[in-house]
Structure 1
């Protein structure tokens, strides 16, 4: 993702941040996604998929509460600009909301819900979803 953000930097949004400080925050949230969001989201997806077979009740993902608190202060993860940090969350959130139909985990958190509505309705993400569904 970083490669493409740099390669196509002049063709759209500045996804890595305009300043060293903004870039640092983008990198921080990319690391948060990789180490703190992705593992629990993956586990949540597996849990939801196999919970009924195992007779286990699904638990909401507590990490989303941290995201909700963060986004009570900023529009996007790295600040008030859309970045690679936000993009990195789209695939798993798409899966949680639309594939395993656990959108309530997002919708019951005011700030995460607003963020999700914003990033998931971007024309570029809609295009990705269209390409994903298109036959090869």
Structure 2
């Protein structure tokens, strides 16, 4: 069941992210809008698009969440493998995605403090935290 759902969800999510899917949705909305005068803009005419969009949105939420969960888990596994394989990396970081937001914030703060305490060891990395967003925004 999990494999079937993963294949179906992946296929639908892949299709939904393509320009063709957008064009199909756009054409359907245009056809619906143009058909308004034929149906005298009736309640049923409005209900058709409202119901269809609600159902599609409801189902897409689950497909997108499933896709994000798989992508996130795969990314964490890859990062954990890099941490495991690199001798200088701290193995204690493996699995920190299971910690609370507060615990992760404390770890980030401790890392930033480490960079500030030993500026020569982490030359250039301390300032990155403060300036990277400003640097990116200044480009645009």
- Could you say whether these structures have the same fold, taking a TM-score greater than 0.5 normalized by the shorter chain as the test? no
Greater relative contact order (Cα < 8 A, sep 6+):
1
More helix by share: 2
Structure whose CA Rg is larger: 2
Q: TM-score normalised by the shorter chain: which range applies?
A: under 0.3
- What TM-score does the superposition give when structure 1 sets the normalisation length? 0.24
